[in-house]
Amino acid sequence: MRDQDAVAKTVLVGPKRSSRWRRTIRITVLLLATHALVWGIGRTQGYFATRAVEDKSERISKELESSRDLLLRFEARRLLGRAQDALDARNFGIAQQQVRLASQLLGASHPTAAVSPLVDALVKYQPVVTEDLGGQHQQLAGWIGQLDAQLPQVQHP
């Protein structure tokens, strides 16, 4: 009988069981902490992914703006060439219109310090009806040269 009492005492002395409520609270707190950790990690990853997309979008927007400015300058160059042709054909009104359009395009292309004086000169251009168009033709050629110096050179294959 002593053996049975010893076995019974060791069973009774075993670890105490905590209540169900305490166990449920521990599990709930552990789950909440896990969810908070996962949420924080996801939030951080989302922030960095969003930041990368925003940086790329900003870079592409700047590239697009510079491409647009370059396109406007090339178009202004083309219009100055057409103004020369109109001057040669003695169409002074068309020449003035082409130069005015070129000045508007150059002004819209966020002109640099080197291009700004050219825009001012183009705005003031007024063709004069004369027999000798050499001076006016040379003036347009000078403006075209100034603009060409600011444009990248296009290489043909």
Establish if 7 belongs to a structural domain: no
Establish if 112 belongs to a structural domain: yes
How many domains, in total, are found in the chain? 1
Cβ 76 vs Cβ 109: under 8 Å:
yes
Using CA atoms, how far apart are residues 129 and 143, in angstroms rounded to an integer?
A: 20
Establish if 12 belongs to a structural domain: no
Using CA atoms, how far apart are residues 38 and 29, in angstroms rounded to an integer?
A: 14
What is the span of the domain harbouring residue 73?
A: 66-150
Establish if 123 belongs to a structural domain: yes
Establish if 24 belongs to a structural domain: no
For residue 153, give Cα distances in angstroms to 64, 111, 136, 148, 149. 19, 18, 26, 8, 9
Cβ 108 vs Cβ 72: under 8 Å:
yes
pLDDT tens digits, 76-121: 999 999 998 888 888 888 888 988 999 898 888 887 777 788 888 8
Average pLDDT of the chain? 84
Q: Is the pLDDT of residue 12 over 70?
A: no
Which pLDDT belongs to residue 56?
94
Cβ 107 vs Cβ 129: under 8 Å:
no
Establish if 13 belongs to a structural domain: no
Establish if 109 belongs to a structural domain: yes
Establish if 48 belongs to a structural domain: no
